[in-house]
Structure 1
Amino acid sequence: MISAALKYQARIPVETAFPALVLLAHHHCSGNIASQRFAGLVKYLPRDKHSVFIISGPATAEEHEQHDPELFVDSSPLLSKASIAARWEVLRHMALVRRNDHLEMQGNSWIAKAVNAARARIQSEKNRGKHPVVMATYSPIDALIAARLVAIAEDVPLIQDFRDGLAFENLGRPGALFKSLRKILEAWVVRPAAVITTVSRPLVRHFEKTYEGKVVSLLYNGFDAEALPEVAMPAQKQRSDKRKQTISIGHFGRISSSEAARLETLRMFISALVDGKFSGRLEFFGTLTSSEIAILNLSGLDCTFQGHVDRKVALEQMKEMSALIILTGKSESVATGKIYEYLFAGNRILIATQAKNEATRILEEIGDDDVIMDFSDPASIPPVEVLVEKLLGSFTRNLDAIKKFDKSVQAKEFSEILQRVAKAQV
């Protein structure tokens, strides 16, 4: 019913809805790239229109150590690591299809603690005359499960967010059994959802096709330009002095631990550089696997391994590179979070991939002088001397073209989604 109202009343008045967001985001306090999905969005939500309450997993980022009234942090185990009794409790409640006003979970699992915390907050918001909306972001699946249990128990609208695919191009365990389980779980968690939000156009098409009639909104990952003003881009950014410098190509974050096919992309990229006698430097910031390190060490190229660095340090280092590389595999829906950090840094981006994907389409639409090396199309691979010449040249990022990825801009779209969902419930 809510979904239908949203679909046919996309521009209904929303000024009086005053929705209260209860967000289940397990990685929110982790400090990794996944945590950035909602960090900026909730930061810029106008508090005169929204109250915000975030339920997170363990806090590993220093900025979350102090008490925050908008944040509930719980370190209980995810379902995959919980006790048999805790798992059984969750499965038993999942099997209930009716509303359960007396739902109160006792087991030692993050789902149980999240459900109880969310319900308490929602009941408090209702008592204050607010219109609560419960929302969860995948991964892990635990957040989506908990949000559905809460939405049904409290009879409030539900938004399910996917920053990764669950049934579509999932990066988890392979095999027909796990594929079937992911389809079943996805259908279960989105069935009562008023809106599905996700990060890429292929994922939007997947949800629209799979769940006909569901409202699906594209909510890109992005960057927070005000989070680190000391490393923010100047209005016009050019690198005209690169001819006096050694070429440095920087990679930030994980490679094949995010998608196995990216290991082959790395091998292809390194092979192309070796064959072309590339004499620049490759710098890797983040944790690499032993296989990745072996490929780099055996290449004979000038490679340095910086390990994990603080996000502020990473952004500062990004600005010092001649180019920033993204390695993707064969997935169509990839819009890796680091592309937005790279766009924010302002330097030229080099994508090495085995297939056209959302990341390559984003760069093509921006229209700057970035580099796409698609190894499924040999004609797209420039000779190393051509690549070097380009990397030595000046580069200017079109700031107007990337403004839509700024969290302060995206938060306005997010606010409108919340207000329409809340209004449809009234």
Structure 2
Amino acid sequence: MSKKVLIITYYWPPAGGPGVQRWLKFVKYLPQFGIEPMVYVPANPSYPIIDETLLSEIPDGISVLKQPILEPYKIASFFSLKKVKTIAKGIINDKAKQGWKERFLLAIRGNLFIPDARKSWVKPSVRYLSTLIEDFGIDTVISTGPPHSMHLIGYKLKLKHSIQWIADFRDPWTTIGYHKQLKLLSPAKKKHIRLESEVLNKADKIIVTSHKTLEEFESKTTTPVKVITNGFDDHGIIKPKKEAKFTLSHIGSLLSERNPEVLWKVLSELVKENEDFKLHFQLHLYGTVSESIIDSLTEYGLKGFVTSHGYVSHEEAIKAQMVSQVLLLIEIDSEDTKAIIPGKLFEYLASGTPILSIGPKNSEVETILKVTNTGNYFNYTSYSELKNQILLYFESYKTGTLQTQPVGVERYSRKALTKTLTEYMSWEL
């Protein structure tokens, strides 16, 4: 007889972006390990990104339960639709470029909606799911965040029922980078810390996506913590022919603080110094790009080499990874982002395309690239090294030898990760 597990998540198809992928894929493979997943999602969510193609990836026969949610972002959109959409996508302008509307919305978001704008869904969800837990004999509940209000649903269900509750953190809570931009007052900061502590200490088990987050949480709780990273799936797409040009592609949002000016400077100089490079070079940007990034590209004379595609479907993103000559992976230069492992990294690994990554020193991305032999990692001060590496890539491109020799990438397959998840799930309460 299959064990039943209830998964509480905000992001679910047709939501686009990396947040939806993790549990969509776990749900796909859990039945192969004797576990029957039931998924609980909002009936009327306000997703910043939509990808209808992901609806076809929901496995047949999976129970998806839905309840209405009051979305403050919809209400706030009457005040400033453009600002609300950019904040919902995680794009926050530099302080110098923030108008009063954006500052006001950030202050409201940070200090009134704790832990996040979906907090109003907690109480009605607990009422609804309490009946469901009894009716269906569910003994394990998994909440996944952000938004971390999903964990408050799991927390309150744990207080009411004899269940195993596992809290899955795709990103940290109080140390996540954007918290510093939410204009949190002291009471709000204290409430975040208190709620985080309650979740970490009441959960039966915790899952995180990086070892640095594991270290952080192990310093805050004695609850067992397990690293289960994101991964890649067998998409079945036939590998297309590589682009004719020397294409550097970034797939995903480029936020204001994720602006690698060292890279723009290197590319600008190569275009000026090397006519052959200038003839072949092309920069592709897939996803939402902040105005400050566009301004920087213009300032460095690169705008004429840029093709901005906007948001594309997951399938199109996979194809773009495979046809590109080099994939860019950019992270904010901050202590807080060392623990961040973007979900797209694992699809990058599986693409066979060399990865050029720029981020903070001693990050987990750097470790993964070295261990898997899939790319090169640089800091924001690594100007000469970065320039030399791009030239090496370019020379390999011209000789048709630009490729990777990956090692041990299979450990990041979605099926292998689901096996690890099922082993971590114990029904001994």
Give yes or no for contact 1:78–1:142 (8 Å, CA) kept in 2: no
**Counterpart mapping for 1:89-128 below 5 A:** 109-126=120-137
- Report the CA distance shift for 1:48/1:196 in structure 2 as closer, same or farther (over 3 A): closer
RMSD over equivalenced CA pairs, Å: 3.0
Give yes or no for contact 1:161–1:197 (8 Å, CA) kept in 2: yes
- Structure 2 counterpart of 1:365, from 347, 366, 371: 371
What is the TM-score with the length of structure 1 in the denominator?
0.77
What is the CA-CA distance between 1:391 and the residue it aligns to?
Answer: 4.7
- Report the CA distance shift for 1:346/1:387 in structure 2 as closer, same or farther (over 3 A): closer
User: Counterpart in 1 of 2:6?
Assistant: 22
Give yes or no for contact 2:338–2:360 (8 Å, CA) kept in 1: no
1:174-213 per-position Cα deviation (integer Å, ceiling 9, x unaligned): 55635433322211222211111000010011111111x2
- Structure 1 counterpart of 2:143, from 136, 147, 168: 136
1:264-322 per-position Cα deviation (integer Å, ceiling 9, x unaligned): x2x22111211232521000111111111222233322001111111111111221100
Aligned-pair identity in percent equals 19
Q: Distance in 1 between matches of 2:120 and 2:61?
A: 22
- Report the CA distance shift for 1:169/1:417 in structure 2 as closer, same or farther (over 3 A): same
SS class of match (1:26):
coil
Give yes or no for contact 2:205–2:223 (8 Å, CA) kept in 1: yes
Give yes or no for contact 1:355–1:376 (8 Å, CA) kept in 2: no
User: Counterpart in 2 of 1:252?
Assistant: 251
- Structure 1 counterpart of 2:349, from 343, 348, 351: 343
- Report the CA distance shift for 1:118/1:417 in structure 2 as closer, same or farther (over 3 A): farther
1:29-77 per-position Cα deviation (integer Å, ceiling 9, x unaligned): 2122110011111110126722211112338543549996511234412
Give yes or no for contact 2:371–2:407 (8 Å, CA) kept in 1: no
Q: Tell me, which stretches of 5 or more residues in structure 1 are unaligned?
A: 1-15, 84-93, 95-106, 234-238
Flag the structure with higher helix content. 2
SS class of match (2:327):
strand
**Amino acid across the alignment from 1:122:** I
Give yes or no for contact 1:159–1:196 (8 Å, CA) kept in 2: yes
User: Counterpart in 1 of 2:66?
Assistant: 73
- Report the CA distance shift for 1:346/1:109 in structure 2 as closer, same or farther (over 3 A): same
- Report the CA distance shift for 1:111/1:335 in structure 2 as closer, same or farther (over 3 A): same
The question of 1:181 aligning with 2:191 is answered yes
- Report the CA distance shift for 1:375/1:318 in structure 2 as closer, same or farther (over 3 A): same
- Report the CA distance shift for 1:48/1:208 in structure 2 as closer, same or farther (over 3 A): closer
How many pairs were matched up?
363
The question of 1:334 aligning with 2:340 is answered yes
SS class of match (2:268):
helix
Q: Distance in 1 between matches of 2:293 and 2:36?
A: 44
What is the CA-CA distance between 1:133 and the residue it aligns to?
Answer: 0.6
- Greater relative CO, 1 or 2 (CA 8 Å, sep 6+): 1
Give yes or no for contact 2:7–2:143 (8 Å, CA) kept in 1: yes
**Counterpart mapping for 1:233-272 below 5 A:** 245-256=244-255, 260-263=256-259, 265=260, 267-272=261-266
- Report the CA distance shift for 1:175/1:111 in structure 2 as closer, same or farther (over 3 A): closer
- Report the CA distance shift for 1:182/1:397 in structure 2 as closer, same or farther (over 3 A): farther
Q: Distance in 2 between matches of 1:80 and 1:146?
A: 20
**Amino acid across the alignment from 1:274:** S
Q: Distance in 2 between matches of 1:79 and 1:160?
A: 25
Give yes or no for contact 2:283–2:307 (8 Å, CA) kept in 1: yes
User: Counterpart in 2 of 1:317?
Assistant: 320
Q: Distance in 1 between matches of 2:418 and 2:225?
A: 17
The question of 1:204 aligning with 2:214 is answered yes
- Report the CA distance shift for 1:203/1:51 in structure 2 as closer, same or farther (over 3 A): same
User: Counterpart in 2 of 1:406?
Assistant: 413
- Report the CA distance shift for 1:230/1:151 in structure 2 as closer, same or farther (over 3 A): same
Give yes or no for contact 1:374–1:380 (8 Å, CA) kept in 2: no
Q: Distance in 1 between matches of 2:220 and 2:169?
A: 14
Q: Tell me, which stretches of 5 or more residues in structure 2 are unaligned?
A: 77-113, 272-276
Give yes or no for contact 1:82–1:109 (8 Å, CA) kept in 2: no
Greater Cα offset, 202-211 or 65-74: 65-74
What is the CA-CA distance between 1:231 and the residue it aligns to?
Answer: 3.7
